[in-house]
Amino acid sequence: MIEIDPHDRTDLTGPWAGFGFQAGHMFTPEGHQLEPCDMTWWSLTCNIAREWRLMMAEARTGMAKRPIPAVETSATAKSSVIYLAEVLRIRRGRRFGNGDPGSGAETSNVVYMSRGPRPRQRV
């Protein structure tokens, strides 16, 4: 049976090539060292990234316009869950004026003012 000494360097292979473990810490291909406590939020970070990818894919295919059932709010609730895709869709609609397509109003052409070139400063 092979015993692995935790102080010896253990290199990972496959998609994790370049990463490895040594003395109870993980190291990256760039040479950064990760403490065990640095890895506690990976699951949350990966789940957020996955949800963001799905939300962007839905927005690209036009599925973002599907109705999402409203959630009843409780007066005693201390916190609530928001649906980020729905909030972004509503904000985008407000920003671009997509609220009432039958009004006949044209979209506004907003021009942002800038100060122009700065005067020379004395040294």
Question: Are 32 and 16 contained in the same domain?
Answer: yes
Question: Are 24 and 50 contained in the same domain?
Answer: no
This model's pTM is above 0.85: no
List average pLDDT for each run of 10 residues in the chain, which is 123 residues long.
69 91 89 86 87 86 62 64 80 72 60 73 77
Predicted pLDDT of residue 85:
79
Question: Are 58 and 88 contained in the same domain?
Answer: yes
Domain contains 55:
yes
Domain contains 25:
yes
Number of domains making up the chain:
2
The partner residues of 10 in beta bridges, in order of sequence, read 21
Closest C-alpha among 13, 43, 41, 11 to residue 27: 11
Domain contains 118:
no
Contact criterion met (CB below 8 Å) for 83 and 68 = yes
Rounded CA-CA distance 89/75 in Å is 26
Contact criterion met (CB below 8 Å) for 21 and 10 = yes
